[in-house]
Amino acid sequence: MPNKKSAAKRVLIAEKNRIYNRYWKTRCKTAQKNFLSAVAGGDSELAAKRLAEAQSVLDKAVVKGVIHRNTAARRKSRMALKITPAETAAEG
């Protein structure tokens, strides 16, 4: 229990930020899972669409300060590597 008024305010702000960050992190994870399920399904057109959506969500999370830009770049890069074999399998 905080003893000062400013400490009590910080508790409220920290809780608000925790909920906000959890929302965006969950949204990022869901977008990545949707992409991975599209890749596993073998539909390259759907996978490309889901990749664009996931990249957009990750970029928005970076702008809002929820995740670091290098973390988002790493995740986007790994997703792009997964879509490449799916595209070549669909073409060949």
Give the pair of three-digit tokens for residue 61: 């999370």
Residue 88 has pLDDT above 80, yes or no: no
Lowest mean per-residue pLDDT among 7-11, 19-23, 44-48, 84-88: 84-88
Nearest of 61, 56, 23, 53 to residue 37 by alpha carbon: 53
The string of pLDDT tens digits covering residues 19-76 is 999 999 999 999 999 999 999 999 999 999 999 999 999 999 999 999 999 999 999 9
Q: Which amino acid is at 73?
A: A
Question: Which pTM value belongs to this model?
Answer: 0.86
Q: Which structural domains are found in the chain, ordered by start?
A: 5-91 (1.20.58.110)
- Which contacts (CB < 8 Å, 24+ apart) does range 55-62 have? 55/79, 57/27, 57/28, 57/31, 58/28, 58/31, 60/24, 61/24, 61/25, 61/27, 61/28
